[in-house]
A and B are shown apart, each in its own frame.
Chain A
């Protein structure tokens, strides 16, 4: 370890301590006291949107994209484009009706829409599966970051992040405090923006060399900037599959849906989504800049840690060390916020639907759930360290797109959906995309068509899930829940329209 790493260590420790401190004593500054009579002020769309951005921008966005763009060129821009455009579909198809359904989690929505405990159970399992698949690359990214910035062994990162998240979630802190998560977005943005500006200045000073003139690790020279430069038919399939997975997967992520509950009504949910689009659009301008500069200054570097190494290579000296520290701190914040949000979502589902309230008190079962939620992907990250961060996140999106997307879209827009159809479609989508995941985690060979189809399953598994859900529902029309028309009216009627909404008696 040399002196150059000191600022990075300080940054990581600072972020971890700050996170723990907010978790333990925090809460208070989120909404302090005796300012009387502001109690019912709801969360504004702009704040909630920042919070969604803070929780959503994960290790893949922060680290993965830049490396992929550097290595494989313009095709990889579909990752950030898709992760942003997912919110466009969410905005158009899901946001407001989902909010009006009153559901807090995806299993809640399934239960409210289909009135079936069995569909709820299947959804709960899927939430846990997607959560683990998404947590796994976060922990892995942590391993890469600490290795690159501090020279620590690869397993240290997952263990450290896992512990911090676990302590945090267990202590009941950082539950899902909107303010804290909103702050995370701006922290991540700053951590990428400031070094990027500095590096662009250096690049201009160097006479602005063209990134395509450099022969990099992936496509040579000019092909780098062209979409589908060398992919051919398989490349085209991979691109479309990626588009399907990312566009449709966002709405099925457990920690994203939970945030929409905070909006006071459907209209606010739409406005929030609109702001999220703007925030993400701005953030995702930065990783490609890193990718292009990486092409010029670090053409032979490691893809996944490009963002961390680049400031030191471009700027150099103490300035470079400080910028590296900033990026490292930002990356660490990215892991912590995304993993906290996800762990809470997964732990909630485990404690509610798997452990159940009968055997333990609420707090105990939530803590048990948190342990399970964190330890499994942590072990996975230590055991399988070589799967690319962005690729693993892509698989989580593929599973979400093949399962919850059909459920949400058909559940909101089609009155013919039945519990049997929903279960069949969820299982078909899960088995389809899950096979792809299992294959990808074991092997990285991607030359034969079969391997290509399996490594990006969304393009066939999503239509498969839709078709199964539709056809099985058509085959079981007698199972259409009786409250369907009433429920759909509630989903699609704006709140300010006078309508008797309390029809379903419960007392």
Chain B
């Protein structure tokens, strides 16, 4: 009687034996996946291999790149030395293969390992490594299983590659921003400085030093983040150089709450906006730029405003969406990086209308996990 009601209970809660096997498999796979999503390295191989061996249920498992061992898990670690040659031959063959007997032979009488199945790991049609299953016999089932797991691992590594290329793209965009500053600005600044060399050598010297500091900051190679203080210092230098060129035509107001200066921001997230403001604000005879940074307790608010010709909101919307035909290239890039760093709540806000100037508002949280200069 008791078994009469217990059986259905067990079935609904733990599932049949087959169900449970499936759950175990899925669980092992989910444990292995985060490490593999970082790409194939000694570290990630070491962290994922135990779960992959659980998945396959074999006595020993090896992960290699194309010519050396990355990680070994299981019994009989004296076979480790065989992994590299097997990997090289598998990479040459380009397909799952069962290792020859002499490749796995260790000469020890009690050793359980008598066979190995090696399956290539393929990322974007390129073999990056192998998964090697060591067992007493190489059955057809084992070959099949090794092949399937290798394909799944390849899929995870593909995703890792995707993540990496997304990051590379972002970095390339920052590099593009740095490069984009250069030609016109450098030419114009040097021209302006040259005009002071004879009339006011002292000022020319100061401007040159500012110019040197400005370029050093803009071309620095390390770090994705900086402090608002550093970024604003660079903006100041930029404006100083632009003022040398435009003289009284360019009016500037800065109102910065000192409390927000330590806030961490993405590198070059304010300067492109100021450049835009100068470019658009000076359409007429003269123009005024104002930069205001305010403290909102948990957040900092930075507003960059010009009194120039303004713009059609639709154009700005297209620029933010990434349309390259508009001349506000920096805008979309800054917006994308702010969102990528702080989340979608923290995109740029642009207030503009034809003839009414432009105001760009940047909001950044004072703290975001993992973001620091």
* Residue contact B366 to A502, C-beta cutoff 8 Å: no
The complex places the Cα of A104 from the Cα of B370 at a distance, in Å, of 13
Q: Which of A41, A172, A175, A502 contacts B258 (CB 8 A)?
A: A41
Q: Which of chain A's residues have a CB closer than 8 A to the CB of B341?
A: 506-507
Tell me which of B262, B298, B370 contacts A506 (CB under 8 A). B370
Q: Which of A27-62 contact B (CB under 8 A)?
A: 27, 30-34, 36-43
A104 to B258, CA, bound (A): 15
CB <8 Å contact, A40 and B256: yes
Select which of A102, A264, A357, A366 is within 8 A of B372 by beta carbon: A102
B window 82-112: CB within 8 A of A:
none
Q: Which of B254, B262, B372 contacts A502 (CB 8 A)?
A: B372
Check B258 against A262 for contact (C-beta < 8 Å): yes
**Count of interface residues, chain B, beta-carbon cutoff 8 Å:** 47
Determine the distance from Cα of A30 to Cα of B295 in the docked complex, in whole angstroms. Answer: 12
The verdict on B261 contacting chain A, using a C-beta distance below 8 Å, is yes
Q: Which residue of B lies closest to A358 (CB)?
A: B345
**Given contacts A505-B167, A506-B224, is CB(A104)–CB(B232) below 8 Å?**
no
- Check B259 against A176 for contact (C-beta < 8 Å): yes
Q: A31-B256, A33-B254, A506-B341 are in contact. Are A262 and B262 (CB under 8 A)?
A: yes
Assembled-state Cα–Cα distance A328/B372 (Å): 45
Would you call B257 an interface residue if the criterion is a C-beta within 8 Å of the partner chain's C-beta atoms?
yes
Interface set, chain B 210-253, CB cutoff 8 A to A: 222-225, 227, 229-230, 232-233, 235-236, 239-240, 252-253
By beta carbon, the residue of chain B nearest A504 is B370
What separation, in Å, do the CA atoms of A175 and B257 have in the docked complex? 11
Interface band, chain A: 35 or more
* Distance to closest chain B CB from A125 (angstroms): 17
Q: How far is the CB of A370 from chain B (nearest CB, A)?
A: 10
Residue of A nearest to B256 (CB): A39
Are B372 and A175 closer than 8 Å at their CB atoms?
A: no
Report whether B258 and A108 are in contact in the complex, using a CB–CB cutoff of 8 Å: no
| Residue of B261, B299, B340 with most partner-chain A CB within 10 A | B261
Whether a CB of chain B sits under 8 angstroms from the CB of A83 is no
**Whole-angstrom distance between the Cβ of B337 and the nearest chain A Cβ:** 7
User: Is A115 close to B, CB under 8 A?
Assistant: yes
CA distance A41 to B236 in the complex (A): 12
A136 close to chain B: CB less than 8 A = no
Q: Please give the distance in Å from A396's CB to the nearest CB on chain B.
A: 21
Determine the chain B residues whose CB is within 8 A of the CB of A108 once the complex forms. 366-367
For residue B26, which residues in chain A have a CB less than 8 angstroms away from its CB?
Answer: none
Complex contact B369–A43 (CB within 8 A): no
**B367 A112 Cβ-Cβ under 8 A:** yes
Query: Taking A43-B259, A502-B223 as contacts, is the C-beta distance between A507 and B254 under 8 angstroms?
Result: no
Q: How far is the CB of A373 from chain B (nearest CB, A)?
A: 12
**Distance, CA A103 to CA B235, complexed state (A):** 26
Residues of A425-450 whose CB lies within 8 A of B: none
- Shortest CB-to-CB span from B92 to chain A, Å, is 35
Interface presence of A111 (CB below 8 A) = yes
Main secondary structure of the interface of A (DSSP, over half): loop
Q: Is the CB of A33 within 8 A of B253?
A: yes
Roughly how many angstroms separate A352 CA and B296 CA in the complex, as a whole number? Answer: 13
CB atoms of A507 and B257 under 8 A apart = no
B372 near A352 with CB under 8 A, answer: no
- Whether B209 is near chain A, meaning CB under 8 Å from some CB there, is no
Chain B residue with minimal CB distance to A362? B299
Interface residues in B342-373 (C-beta closer than 8 Å to A): 345, 363, 366-373
Residues from chain B with a CB closer than 8 A to the CB of A474 are none
Does B345 lie within 8 Å of A357, measured CB to CB? yes
Q: Is the CB of B229 within 8 A of A42?
A: yes
Cα–Cα distance between A176 and B256 once the two chains are bound (Å): 14
Q: Known: A105-B367, A490-B372. Contact between A348 and B254, CB under 8 A?
A: no
Q: How far is the CB of A355 from chain B (nearest CB, A)?
A: 12
Q: Given that A102-B367, A507-B224, A507-B341 are contacting pairs, would A42 and B297 also be in contact in the complex, using a CB cutoff of 8 Å?
A: no
- Chain B residue nearest to A103 (CB atoms) is B367
The complex places the Cα of A108 from the Cα of B262 at a distance, in Å, of 15
How many whole Å from B227's CB to the nearest CB in chain A? Answer: 8
Determine the chain A residues whose CB is within 8 A of the CB of B328 once the complex forms.
Answer: none
A144-B259 Cα distance, complex, nearest whole Å: 34
Q: Is B295 touching A115 in the complex (CB atoms < 8 A)?
A: no
On chain A, the residues within 8 Å of B371 by CB distance are: 102, 506
Determine if A42 and B367 form an interchain contact, defined as CB atoms under 8 angstroms apart.
no
Residues of A contacting B240 in the complex (Cβ-Cβ under 8 angstroms): 37
Complex Cα distance, B342 from A361, in Å, reads 16
The answer to whether A42 touches B261, judged by C-beta atoms less than 8 angstroms apart, is yes
Residue B170 is within 8 A (CB to CB) of chain A in the complex: yes
CB distance from B363 to the nearest CB of A (A): 8
Determine whether A283 belongs to the interface, using a CB cutoff of 8 Å to chain B: no
Chain A residue numbers with a CB within 8 Å of B279 are: none
B342 shortest CB reach to chain A, Å? 9
What separation, in Å, do the CA atoms of A357 and B259 have in the docked complex? Answer: 23
Minimum CB distance partner of B290 in chain A: A33
Q: Which listed residue, B254, B294, B298, B369, touches A112 by the CB 8 Å rule? A: B369
Within 8 A of B (CB), among A364-413: 366
Interface contact B372-A176, CB-CB below 8 Å: no
Question: A33-B253, A102-B264, A348-B297 are contacts. A502–B373 as well, Cβ < 8 Å?
Answer: yes
**Known contacts A40-B229, A112-B369, A115-B369, then 10 further A-B pairs from the complex at CB < 8 Å, ordered by chain A residue:** A30-B257, A34-B253, A36-B252, A36-B254, A37-B240, A39-B235, A261-B366, A262-B258, A502-B225, A506-B370
User: What residues of chain A have their CB less than 8 Å away from a CB belonging to chain B?
Assistant: 27, 30-34, 36-43, 102-105, 108, 111-112, 115, 172, 175-178, 258, 261-264, 344-345, 347-348, 351-352, 357, 362, 366, 490, 500-502, 504-507
Q: Please, could you name 13 A-B residue pairs with CB atoms under 8 Å apart, sorted by A? A: A33-B253, A36-B254, A37-B254, A39-B254, A42-B261, A43-B259, A102-B264, A112-B369, A175-B296, A176-B297, A352-B298, A490-B372, A502-B372
